[in-house]
């Protein structure tokens, strides 16, 4: 039996480095939100002949004062243009100007006002907070019959810490991608983050449930041994689940098109982070918490 909890300090240091890096990136660079959240125009076009370079497209549009123009090539002839919100007349003039470079066909045009984008951003934050709160309450309720040696609310707090771990790391990665590669945080990526929450808490609950079963059937005994035993019993299931999901997400990343590319990337990062936190953070953290409680109880007795 592998002693997972024996090396908990190493896990905490590794996770601490990742979290500090992610938080630092978020503070320094922030997140590069898409027009769904910041407001603006999104135009998808398809060049029927040779696609002009990004510089050529950008120079042809300088007369319209569009602010920062994001140009993303798609496939062989497709291009997505993102810029500040414009009226329909300006939209048509932009299209005419691009047509001078090469024959182009517009596939879609979307305009989102800044107030709508801010409202969507606020609702997204509320949705994530409510999801975390609901998960915390559910775990505390589900483990209410297990009060020794660790109370039920500690299971929920530990899972919450693991969830923050699993969300911060992908956000930190996308903060760097936004800074250096102009990758935007869009609605599909938010959906991916919520999916990560579900996957991570499911994996953690499976491990916690096995800990509960071992406590109820074999007694408390050594809590660290119980956690180690439970992790060894469930690690095969965790690894097989991760591999199955990764096979699908990697396929989507390479063959799913531009729309799903960064959605699948967020899932891939979150799956690794979630599996790691479930195995190496959540369970060992329960043991560490119990050791702290035991030390405090010993000190109180000596007084």
Tell me the pLDDT tens digit for each residue of 38-83: 788 889 999 988 889 999 999 999 999 888 788 888 878 899 898 8
Place of tokens 């042809």: 60
Percent of the chain with pLDDT over 70: 96
Determine the Cα–Cα distance for residues 10 and 296; give it in Å rounded to an integer: 23
pLDDT score of 174 more than 90 = yes
Banded pLDDT at 245 (limits 50, 70, 90):
very high
Q: Which of 122, 64, 113, 73 is nearest to 93 (CA)?
A: 64
Q: What is the CATH number of domain 41-112?
A: 3.30.70.3400
d(CA 204, CA 281): 10
Choose the most confident range, by mean pLDDT, from 20-24, 180-184, 188-192.
20-24
Protein fold of 4-34+116-296: Multidrug efflux transporter AcrB transmembrane fold (1.20.1640)
234/93 Cα distance (integer angstroms): 61
The domain locations on the chain are 4-34+116-296, 41-112
What pLDDT, on the 0 to 100 scale, is given for residue 16? 95
Q: What is the pTM of this model?
A: 0.83
């Amino acid at each position: 039996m592998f002693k997972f909890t024996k090396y908990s300090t190493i896990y905490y240091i590794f996770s601490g480095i990742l979290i500090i890096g992610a938080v630092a990136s978020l503070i320094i660079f922030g997140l590069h939100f898409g027009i769904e959240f910041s407001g603006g125009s999104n135009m998808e076009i398809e060049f029927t002949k040779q696609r002009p370079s990004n510089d050529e497209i950008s120079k042809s549009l300088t007369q319209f004062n569009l602010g920062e123009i994001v140009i993303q090539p798609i496939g062989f002839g497709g291009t997505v243009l993102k810029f500040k919100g414009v009226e329909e007349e300006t939209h048509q003039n932009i299209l005419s100007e691009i047509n001078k470079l090469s024959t182009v066909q517009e596939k879609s045009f979307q305009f989102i006002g800044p107030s709508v984008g801010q409202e969507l951003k606020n609702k997204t934050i509320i949705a994530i907070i409510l999801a975390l709160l609901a998960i915390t309450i559910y775990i505390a309720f589900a483990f209410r019959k297990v009060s020794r040696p660790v109370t039920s609310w500690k299971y929920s707090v530990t899972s919450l810490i693991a969830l923050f771990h699993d969300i911060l790391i992908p956000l930190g990665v996308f903060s760097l991608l936004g800074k250096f590669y102009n990758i935007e945080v869009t609605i599909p990526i938010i959906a991916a983050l919520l999916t990560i929450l579900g996957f991570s808490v499911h994996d953690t609950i499976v491990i916690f449930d096995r800990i509960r079963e071992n406590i109820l059937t074999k007694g408390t005994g050594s809590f660290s041994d119980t956690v180690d035993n439970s992790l060894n019993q469930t690690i095969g299931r965790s690894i097989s689940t991760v591999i199955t999901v990764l096979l699908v997400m990697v396929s989507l990343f390479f063959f799913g098109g531009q729309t799903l590319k960064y959605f699948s990337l967020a899932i891939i990062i979150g799956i690794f982070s979630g599996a790691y936190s479930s195995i190496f953070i959540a369970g060992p953290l329960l043991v560490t918490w119990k050791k702290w409680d035991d030390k405090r109880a010993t000190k109180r007795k000596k007084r």
